[in-house]
Amino acid sequence: MSRRRVAVTGAGVVACCGVGKDAFWDGLSCEPPDGETLPVIDFDPSPYYANPKEIRRADRFQQFAAAAASEALEQSGQPAADPLRSGVMLGTGIGGLITIEEQSQIQREKGSRRVSPFLIPMVMGNAPAAAISMRFGFQGPCETVTTACATGTHAIANAARLITSGRCDAMIAGSTEAAMTATAVAGFRNMTALSSSGRSRPFDARRDGFVMSEGSGVLVLEEWTQATQRGATILAEVLGGASTADAHHITAPSPGGVGAIACMQLALEEAELSPSDIIHINAHGTSTPLNDAAEADAICKLFGTPGPAVTSIKGVTGHGLGAAGSIEAVAVVLAMEHRLIPPTVGHEQRDPEMGEIDLVTGEPRPWEPGPTMSNSFGFGGHNGCLVLAPAG
């Protein structure tokens, strides 16, 4: 069977800089408040659930996914696919940590009989994928990816392959995270991963760690011919993706960005493109010293200098952990729609020890949308790359 094309027909997002695509896009050029964390403020889950009881039985990470998936499907319209050929690929890096901590405290203070009978369904990592498949009647593959910060990118790439291979005709794909508990923040702080200055400064000489955030990003993917025949508006196309492992260290990247280079090369091969075809790179760019240096080095080695226009939106969104890759995939789709590349907010001083990438700073940069790579590199040495192109 020849490889089938994958259309993006819907996008939804929940992020600290905006809930919903329009608010999110507007927020990508704004300065965020200082602090170790960037929570999603004033999130209301009620539009996405039938009643308050359902909300109480869903952890915050599931609520975020419900909101993002609902927005994406509303934009897409219900894909005209057989339910058994419609699936969900939705990941999380950590899962229902808020519920775990809340129920652990209840157990200590009030005893085991007061622990919620919904504890397990609320905390299990596959809860959002399962809930979305039940809500929208998608009866095909329903799977959960957990690869730390690469989760969202891997989920979208894996979902696209189910379409290119002929197994599925439509997929809801993305990731979600809401792990901003006191214990989790303390853990990241104590391992010196968080910014001590409370600022995310991707690729900046003063970068000192990431700012922790939360949220969800979801794309609706469809087989191209099916999408055009039903008259869907195609937002973008998934050309390919890749996944590799550094096999080096639990938190640090491989020296010189070797694993990242291999992943980007494989993604280009699957997309049937060469490095010179890539116009824009949405970088992982977490604002940590080692990771930003390794990624910049890898980009320079593979794409040359100055290479494609590079941006990291984490100066605004912070690091959404397992949700980061899917939120950034939504940002790429919106950049194509608006014909603007968002700036790398927080970057002010070039690092002379870092490769000279063409970093977009200050203001959004106008562009003629073309093939774009979105990178995600996670704890455990997980590397993920996704290649998107404008519709058509």
User: E strand or H helix at 10, and its extent?
Assistant: strand 6-15
Which residue, 170, 116, 110, 164, is CA-closest to 141?
170
What integer pLDDT is reported at residue 78 of this predicted model?
81
Lowest mean pLDDT among 34-38, 77-81, 212-216: 77-81
Lowest mean pLDDT among 74-88, 114-128, 138-152, 223-237: 74-88
Task: Please state the rounded mean pLDDT for residues 187-197.
Answer: 96
Banded model confidence at residue 252, pLDDT cuts 50, 70, 90 = confident
pTM above 0.95? yes
What pLDDT is stored for residue 133 in this prediction?
A: 97
pLDDT digits (tens, 9 = 90+) for 356-373: 999 999 999 999 999 999
* Token digits of residue 37: 């964390």
Q: What structural domains and CATH numbers belong to the chain?
A: 6-390 (3.40.47.10)
Distance CA 40, CA 32 (A): 12
Q: Give the model's confidence band at 13: pLDDT under 50 very low, under 70 low, under 90 confident, else very high.
A: very high
Mean of the pLDDT values across residues 155-160?
Answer: 98
Predicted confidence at residue 253, as pLDDT, reads: 86
Helix orientation angle between 151-164 and 324-338, rounded to the nearest 10 degrees? 70
pLDDT average, residue stretch 200-213: 98
DSSP string, 215-271: EEEEEEEEEHHHHHHTTPPP-EEEEEEEEEE--S-SSSPPGGGHHHHHHHHHHHHHH
Indicate whether 355 pLDDT > 90: no
Across the chain, mean pLDDT equals 96
pLDDT tens digits for 284-312? 999 999 999 999 999 999 999 989 999 99
Where on the phi/psi map is residue 137: left (φ > 0), alpha (ψ -120 to 50), or beta? Answer: left
pLDDT above 70: residue 1: no
Residues classed as catalytic: 149, 284, 319
124 in helix, strand or coil? coil
What share of residues in the chain are helix, strand, coil (percent, to 5)? 40, 20, 40
Is residue 118 helix, strand or coil?
coil
Q: What are the tens digits of pLDDT across the range 161-179? A: 999 999 999 999 999 999 9
Asked whether the predicted pLDDT for residue 104 surpasses 70, the reply is: yes
